[in-house]
Amino acid sequence: MPFLFVLGLTLCTPSVMAETLSHDMKTLNGTLRTFEQSNDPTQLKDALNIMRAAAQKAQGKTPRKLRDSPQQSPEMQQYRHTYDKLIQQIDEALALVEQGQIDDAKKVVNALKITRDIAHKTYR
């Protein structure tokens, strides 16, 4: 039983949680490349759904830069709001792909990259 307790504490440490956030970011970026390289609606929808899931998971985590900030601090609220915006952009692109408007979906994803870049400057 002590082993499980220690394992639980280890998995809750900021470094392990940050690695998980890092994994979510790698998933977002890798899937973004897949999206950019495809024009197949099925692949595009799959990529957007994976991106959405990764963004939702990342939204609930705390970046290292905000590790000491209270969860209800303005900085943490802004961090979570950034993910709301990313998820909204992903949903918009997904709706456009479903309507067959691939070029417009790609434009939305280009705007998403700007949101991502601003967030990286702020929270990395």
DSSP string, 107-119: HHHHHHHHHHHHH
CA–CA gap between residue 36 and residue 34 (Å, rounded): 5
Question: How many whole angstroms separate alpha carbon 102 and alpha carbon 6?
Answer: 49
Nearest to 32 by CA among 95, 93, 78: 93
Predicted TM-score (pTM) of the model is 0.80
Please give the DSSP secondary-structure letter assigned to residue 39.
-
Per-residue pLDDT of the chain (124 residues; tens, 9 = 90+): 443 333 344 444 444 444 578 888 888 888 999 999 999 999 999 999 999 999 999 898 888 888 888 989 999 999 999 999 999 999 999 999 999 999 999 999 999 999 988 888 888 7
